[in-house]
Amino acid sequence: MTPSMPSTGRARRAPARVFSFVLLALGVFGFAAAWVLVALSSGHLSSWMAVLGALDVVIVLRLGGWRPGPARALLAAAATACIAVLANWWIIAAHLGAMLGLTPWGSAVRLGFHHAWTLAGIAIGPLDLFWMAAAVLLAGIASR
């Protein structure tokens, strides 16, 4: 064995860890985009999609090689919350952009936090909050 070669498997795990983070990020953004498409085509917020997003995150974390435990459960809950926040941001931006003659992407990058918070407070009801909270809880429990 030459001195330049690593003696442990640590060098192999670093690219795998980066790959699993990229896989998780793609899963979060991809599912949020799918949620937005369902919401815009149905005309409703479709908060039940949060539960499907939680199941998607659980599967992605298992496929990404994350070891079971509290860290994976916390990451699953956080990723599910990110899906919900991102999807609601894009849905609000798409509706607002349509009224202002902007594309959904153009509206999303211009939408401010306070304006989004105000519109979310108007649009999101108790049942929507229930679906999103249940999804975060489901992701944490299912990925332990």
Taking only the tens place, the pLDDT of each residue in 39-93 is 999 999 999 999 999 999 999 999 998 999 999 999 999 999 999 999 999 999 9
Structure pTM?
Answer: 0.86
Q: Quick check: helix, strand or coil at residue 6?
A: coil
Distances (CA, A) of 24 to 10, 56, 76: 21, 10, 9
* Spatial separation of the C-alpha atoms in residues 36 and 40, rounded to whole Å: 6
Q: What is the pLDDT of residue 56?
A: 96
Q: What angle do CA 102, 33, 97 make, to 5 degrees?
A: 15
What token pair was written down for 37? 């498409």
